[in-house]
């Protein structure tokens, strides 16, 4: 099996370095063809037993977007209440979602009731269905960044309440709520590191058995 050219590999590393979780978007629209290009990453993604349990919902009516934003604000207020003193001040100074500006919102679910793939590989580890959806989101993230687009993954949410509000089937579990759009800036450094909340490790410890 052939390796890809060295210059491609270097660019792939650069792509991974520049892939950020984006919370600061310009509000310009994203052409539909580009949105489709990003979403098509799902069709290239692995899934346990070829179960392909991903289910995609574009959240685009003003009412649905407002409900998602309200859900985030409530969850963020609850998270803030868990911090005290300086840490609370630091937390509240962070911008943790670009939901108000990002032109495209996508709620990505896993249909836990699907029998596609006939349960292969998911009997022992049913979480593999959701993990497969995460793999697909990761491919989309890279594909979007290669186009100059940014994705922000919002996890400060009451996922069950949001699923109910979006009126999806009971067996659909929310895996990721994604904002897609044109970032205000690019960079190699995560914003949480720039703002002093947390640093990335420079090493990668590996144990042996």
The residue assigned the tokens 């978007």 is: 25
Q: Are 176 and 45 in contact (CB under 8 A)?
A: no
Q: Does 46 bind a copy of itself (CB under 8 A)?
A: yes
Q: Does 78 bind a copy of itself (CB under 8 A)?
A: yes
Q: Are 161 and 30 in contact (CB under 8 A)?
A: no
Q: Rule CB under 8 A: which of 3-32 touch a copy of itself?
A: 3-5, 8-9, 11-13, 15-17, 19, 21
Least Å distance, CB 191 to a copy of itself, is: 10
Which residues lie below 8 Å from residue 139, measured CB to CB, with a gap of 6+? 41, 42, 44, 45
Which positions from 159 to 198 touch a copy of itself by CB under 8 A, shown as an x/- string?
Answer: x------xxx------xx-----xx-xx---x-xx---xx
Q: Which residue of 69, 101, 117, 171 would you call a contact of a copy of itself, by CB under 8 A?
A: 117
Q: Are 160 and 33 in contact (CB under 8 A)?
A: no
Q: Are 19 and 187 in contact (CB under 8 A)?
A: no
Taking the C-alpha atoms of residue 188 and residue 173, their distance in angstroms, rounded to an integer, is 32
Q: Rule CB under 8 A: which of 50-69 touch a copy of itself?
A: 50-52, 55-61, 64
Least Å distance, CB 139 to a copy of itself, is: 6
Q: Does 79 bind a copy of itself (CB under 8 A)?
A: yes
């Amino acid at each position: 099996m052939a390796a890809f050219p060295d210059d491609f590999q270097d660019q792939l590393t650069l792509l991974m370095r520049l892939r950020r979780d984006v919370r600061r978007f310009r509000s310009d629209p994203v052409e539909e063809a580009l949105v489709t290009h990003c979403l098509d990453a799902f069709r290239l993604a692995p899934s346990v037993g070829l179960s392909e349990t991903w289910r995609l919902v574009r959240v685009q009516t003003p009412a649905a977007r407002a409900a998602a934003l309200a859900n985030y604000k409530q969850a963020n207020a609850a998270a803030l209440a868990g911090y005290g003193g300086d840490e609370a001040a630091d937390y509240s100074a962070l911008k943790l979602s670009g939901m108000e500006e990002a032109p495209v919102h996508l709620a990505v679910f896993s249909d836990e009731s699907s029998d596609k793939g006939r349960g292969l590989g998911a009997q022992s580890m049913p979480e593999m269905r959701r993990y497969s959806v995460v793999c697909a989101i990761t491919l989309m993230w890279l594909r979007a960044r290669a186009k100059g687009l940014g994705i922000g993954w919002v996890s400060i949410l009451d996922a069950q309440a949001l699923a109910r509000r979006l009126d999806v089937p009971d067996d659909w579990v929310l895996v990721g709520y994604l904002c897609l759009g044109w970032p205000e800036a690019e960079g190699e450094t995560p914003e949480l590191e720039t703002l002093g909340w947390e640093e990335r490790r420079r090493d990668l410890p590996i144990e042996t058995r």
